[in-house]
Amino acid sequence: MLIVNADDWGRDQKTTDCILDCIHCGTVSSVSAMVFMADSGRAAGLAQEHQIDAGLHLNLTLRFSDAKVPEQLLHHQTRISHFLRGHRLSQVVFHPGLISSFDYLVAAQCDQFASLYGHEPSRIDGHHHMHLCANVLFGGLIPTGTMVRRNFSFGPGEKGLANRRYREAIDWVLGRRHLLTDYFFSIQPLATSGRLEQIIELSRHYAVELETHPNDPAEYAFLTGPGIQKFAESSIMARRFTVNQ
């Protein structure tokens, strides 16, 4: 099955509304919701009203924009963001001095999601995929049994051998405690000939997640226009985010 998942639900009103348009078009299966953001409360209400499948989009690096965010939470996020954004390899380094900050930040977002949506998040991914950083992954901060987004899937020659092996190792670690799709791709680049057709064909045999950001004009146009109908009309298009157990 093909799961088209829209990230950043609740980030701001424009982003939420763009995603909602795609859901009404039948071209988005599920959303990843941000908490402590400007539109988080309204987005949660819309998800309940329209029975939208929502998981938690864990945010470790983008400053929370809700006017009522506690100062202590902002303090912990600032510390973590400074570390993770400081170097391109920071994500793979476990920082013992930030253990308590990571614990606090992840727990606060899980609790806020439960408060807004009425249940604990059964699915977690991360803004800029930072849920895969070493402190979250090896700190055991995501409950066992939760559905978690894997690394991007790449074929031979698309990335260096060391890069692919590292991603495979992380996915192996994830798979021991969490539920994963078989493959994960970005909807971009849209212009690459035959790429999306290959993903559709792959999803006939495997569970495939396709990540999208409908606030991007090109992606919005594609998801609300005729180009996406090959997905929406296909029997493999999932209506919720589910994986084989």
pLDDT tier, 237 (very low <50, low <70, confident <90, very high otherwise): confident
* Tokens found for residue 154: 């790449």
Length of the chain: 245
pLDDT of residue 234: 57
The span from the CA of 42 to the CA of 34, in Å, is 11
Residue 23: what are its φ and ψ, rounded to 5°?
Answer: -65, -40
More confident residue, 203 or 229: 203
**Could you tell me the pTM of the whole model?**
0.93
Query: What would the two tokens of residue 16 be?
Result: 């939420």
Residues 150-187 pLDDT 10s: 999 987 667 777 888 888 999 999 999 999 999 999 99
> DSSP characters for 84-140?
HTTSTTGGGS--GGGHHHHHHHHHHHHHHHHHHHSS--SEEEEGGGGGGSHHHHTTT
Of 148, 125, 134, the C-alpha closest to 99 is 134
Q: Are strands 208-212 and 147-148 parallel, antiparallel or unpaired?
A: unpaired
Query: Which range among 28-42, 64-78, 149-163, 185-199 shows the weakest confidence by mean pLDDT?
Result: 149-163
In which residue are the tokens 């990230």 written? 7
Could you state, in order of their start, the residue ranges of all structural domains in the chain?
2-232
> Cis before residue 217, ω within 30 degrees of 0?
no
The pLDDT of residue 231: 61
Q: Which fold has domain 2-232?
A: TIM Barrel (3.20.20)
pLDDT of residue 227: 67
Task: Say how far residue 183 (Cα) sits from the centre of its chain.
Answer: 14
